[in-house]
Amino acid sequence: MNLAAVLFFAVPALAFHCPLVAKSSNYQSQYSINVSIGTPPQYFDLIVDTGSSDLWVQGTDCTKCYNGPKFNSSESATYVPGCGRGSCEETLAYGSGVSTARVGQDHIAFNSVPLVGPVQFGVVYSEDASIENVLQNSGILGLGFSAMAFFTHPSPTEYIASFALYLDGPKSVMSVNEVLDDYKSPAVKWSTIPVEELDGMYSYWTVGLPEATFGSTQLCGNTESRCQAVLDSGTGFIAIPPQLWGRVLQELHLAGCVLLSKGGPFECASADTLPTFKMTLGTLQGYEVVIVPSMYSFPVTGASTVLVGLIESPLNLWILGSLFLEYYYTQFDIAQKQVRMVSLVPTATAAELVPVPIAEKDQPSYFDRVYDATFVEHVMVLLIVAFSAYTIYTLVFRSNLLRPKHELVYVSDDALLAKLLSEPPARR
């Protein structure tokens, strides 16, 4: 068990709320949290990103970075330079660009509430132009599973059991190890959806997407491979996998929409002619979500048209970004590897998503459900230990190396008994 896990179970888990700051650019919203790093603390606004697992912050030697607070490692008494995976420098590629960082370790706090142990993070000294134009904060707080982190070991998610994101403009909140009071009532029915593994490990916050339609077009739930979706607060729009992108294009062209760039988004005459998304989320038990046009389109400033927040995914996975999460209050349960969701759609009360059955053909295979890379690693370690123990036992106890001389002759009770019976009793 690693240090972070020991500390987490040794120290009572704190429960607290952190206000989030919403910033919009090109109709996409980013949500940031106040994080302090070092001793004495240096304060930064970091993007809350459930689609990555590394924490990094701009350093004072990054001259081309965003014009905001920058971390000065020389002013922190607790900062320790560190190397991960054989290198003290790491390059991270995001959908919006690339950052290069030097790795170090220090104490951090969310909204002045300290975590119980140190966190490894990156201090960025170089950013390319594309990420400079998009990033409006001093860095990124990755809240994906730690297995996906390049260098953030230990990571913040190793010190908390869960967090919940309520994304609603100036009222946005991240709750750590609890949910908002309004959603603790037994009358609020949460929908629990297991997180699914990718390639045998927990990395993204991935949920099953066995059924999906866009207007009259079926996108998931046919004879093709099963769909999965990533819940990603760091992406503004909804992203559709490349293999399904052409079908979405056809539907939007029929609605009179114009593609603004190769991978989206779109500009359309009106939201009234746009199709409705219907999705089923889940693994064995499904929950239906309905995304009407007003939920994924935005009025264009100074025009009578609307912008449609649908883009092509860089992965063979759906990405349900902040545009989606703004309508579903979501708790990300790290310890139980599940998400819990409540609908925030204005036309509905805060209630459980509509349960729907999932056809057996749209469920993951038995192998996919039971296969776990960590479990396999543990089994392999046990097999190696058992084999080593057996080898030692064979060499030491089943060889003649440690036996007394008389045992070299009498190696069984039968032989010893035969010798005793053949000898006359000794005289007294």
pTM of the predicted model over 0.85: no
Contact 356, 362 (CB under 8 A): no
pLDDT tens digits for range 165-206: 999 999 999 999 999 999 999 888 899 999 999 988 999 999
- CA dist 39 and 75 (Å) reads 8
pLDDT of residue 259: 94
pLDDT tens digits for range 326-371: 999 999 999 999 999 999 876 655 556 777 766 666 666 544 544 5
Q: Would strands 173-176 and 97-106 be described as parallel, antiparallel, or unpaired? A: unpaired
Can you say whether the dihedral through the CA atoms of 316, 313, 68, 170 is positive or negative? negative
- CA dist 15 and 7 (Å) reads 16
Residues of the chain with pLDDT under 70: 1-13, 83-87, 94-96, 129-135, 223-224, 346-352, 357-381, 390, 393-428
Catalytic residue among 49, 54, 333, 362: 49
Q: Give yes or no: 368 in active site.
A: no
Catalytic residue among 45, 54, 106, 232: 232
Q: Where are the domains of the chain?
A: 16-175, 189-362
2.30.30.140, 3.30.460.80, 2.40.70.10, 3.30.70.890: which CATH number matches 189-362? Answer: 2.40.70.10
pLDDT tens digits for range 35-57: 999 999 999 999 999 999 999 99
- CA dist 209 and 236 (Å) reads 19
pLDDT of residue 131: 57
Helix (H, G, I), strand (E, B) or coil at 407: helix
Q: Which fold has domain 16-175?
A: Cathepsin D, subunit A; domain 1 (2.40.70)
Q: Give yes or no: 232 in active site.
A: yes
Secondary structure, 3-state, 229-289:
EEECCCCCCEEECHHHHHHHHHHHHHCCCEECCCCCCEEECCHHHCCCEEEEEECCEEEEE
* CATH fold match for the domains 16-175 and 189-362: yes
